[in-house]
């Protein structure tokens, strides 16, 4: 069977990391790159015999690239500290890796968002495919500060079962991350000399809301779907507003 390393980056994840680690018991090792947690994150990882490295955070892409490089095995499964591999996906990976990979260098894994305790089934956040299981000899993560992704060359395939993404403990937690991510994204856009305007920002919200809530069907997820659509539509508005602040001064 092909040996597999799980890689995770962490920062103050004591509330969620244990469930993530328990679901990775089928991996040959777990590599954790921590960026200076002040809670029990590191001690919890130690209990699970993880290989732990400390590195100052300078962007999600470079942090994950570093984590992948520290793995002992070429095949890596990249999960976030608030994601849990389902039992069905675990068994699917074991089955696939017990046979002939037929030259495949990476697998797209479906990821489903659990938002405020509810599994969202509409709006584009259910079984959204991401390249998270791959042979690092064929590539690694991009160095984007935010919205990083893996890029590899060679044959790719998709697995059927999903990872559950428990991203937010509540609205306060969402808004704290929202503020941080929009600031990082605005900085990245400014550094790349991207421009925006007040008119573009004003038009962005209604277009984004209609797309997520109506066209993509978040309305079918009830209250949670409405709230997700509202907050998701505000994200580009706030991000671009922060960019505009930088442009004018």
Per-residue pLDDT reduced to its tens digit, 169-193: 899 999 999 999 999 999 999 999 9
| Residue pLDDT, tens place only, 191-249 | 999 999 999 999 999 999 999 999 999 999 999 999 999 999 999 999 999 999 999 97
Alpha carbons 217 and 126: distance in angstroms, whole number:
11
Give the residue-averaged pLDDT of 92-110: 96
pLDDT for 249 equals: 77
| Mean pLDDT, range 60-89, rounded to an integer | 97
pLDDT of amino acid 208: 96
Task: Confirm if 9 and 33 have CB atoms less than 8 A apart.
Answer: yes
* Mean pLDDT in residue range 94-98: 96
Give domain limits for the chain. Answer: 4-167, 170-248
pLDDT of 34 = 98
Q: Give the single-character DSSP code of 137.
A: G
Where does the pLDDT of residue 138 fall: very low under 50, low under 70, confident under 90, or very high at 90 and above? very high
* 99 band by pLDDT with thresholds 50, 70 and 90: very high
The pLDDT, as a whole number, for residue 26 is 97
pLDDT recorded at residue 146: 78
State how far the Cα of 26 lies from the Cα of 5, in Å rounded to an integer: 10
CA dihedral 93, 33, 19, 95 (to 10 degrees): 10
β-bridge pairing 4-10 and 29-34: parallel
Q: In the predicted model, what is the mean pLDDT of the chain?
A: 96
**Taking the domain 4-167, which CATH number applies?**
3.90.550.10
Instruction: Give the torsion sign (CA, 52, 56, 62, 64).
Output: positive
Amino acid 111: pLDDT: 98
Q: How far is CA 104 from CA 30, 100, 137, 138, 207, in A?
A: 22, 9, 12, 10, 39
Looking at residue 169, what is its pLDDT? Answer: 86
Specify burial of residue 229 (Cβ count, 10 A radius: 0-12, 13-18, 19+): buried
Q: At what angle do helices 222-248 and 171-191 cross, to 10 degrees?
A: 40
Q: Evaluate if pTM is beyond 0.85.
A: yes
pLDDT confidence of residue 164 = 98
DSSP letters for 141-182: E---SSS--EEE-SEEEE-SS-EEEEEESSHHHHHHHHHHHH
Specify the pLDDT at position 144: 84
Distance separating alpha carbons of residues 244 and 155, to the nearest angstrom: 41
Query: Of the candidates 214, 216, 213, 239, which has an alpha carbon nearest to the alpha carbon of residue 228?
Result: 213
Average pLDDT (86-92) is: 98
Q: What integer is the mean pLDDT of 30-43?
A: 98
């Amino acid at each position: 069977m092909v040996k597999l390393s799980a890689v995770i980056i962490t920062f103050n994840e004591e509330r969620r990391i244990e469930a993530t680690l328990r679901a990775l018991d089928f991996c040959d090792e777990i590599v954790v790159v921590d960026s200076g947690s002040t809670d029990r994150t590191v001690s919890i990882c130690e209990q699970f015999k993880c290989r732990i490295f400390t590195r100052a955070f300078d962007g999600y892409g470079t942090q994950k690239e570093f984590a992948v490089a520290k793995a002992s095995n070429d095949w890596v499964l990249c999960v976030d500290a608030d994601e849990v591999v389902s039992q069905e996906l675990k068994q699917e990976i074991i089955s696939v890796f017990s046979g002939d990979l037929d030259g495949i260098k990476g697998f797209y894994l479906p990821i489903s968002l659990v938002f405020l305790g509810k599994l969202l089934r509409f709006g584009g956040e259910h079984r959204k495919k991401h390249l998270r299981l791959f042979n690092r000899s064929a590539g690694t993560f991009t160095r984007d500060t935010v919205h990083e992704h893996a890029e590899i060359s060679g044959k790719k395939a998709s697995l059927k079962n999903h990872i559950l993404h428990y991203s937010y403990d509540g609205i306060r937690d969402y808004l704290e991350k929202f503020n941080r991510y929009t600031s990082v994204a605005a900085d990245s856009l400014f550094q790349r000399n991207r421009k925006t305007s007040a008119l573009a920002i004003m038009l962005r919200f209604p277009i984004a809301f209609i797309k997520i809530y109506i066209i993509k069907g978040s309305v079918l997820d009830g209250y949670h779907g409405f709230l997700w659509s509202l907050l998701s539509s505000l994200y580009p508005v706030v991000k671009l507003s922060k960019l505009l602040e930088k442009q004018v001064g």
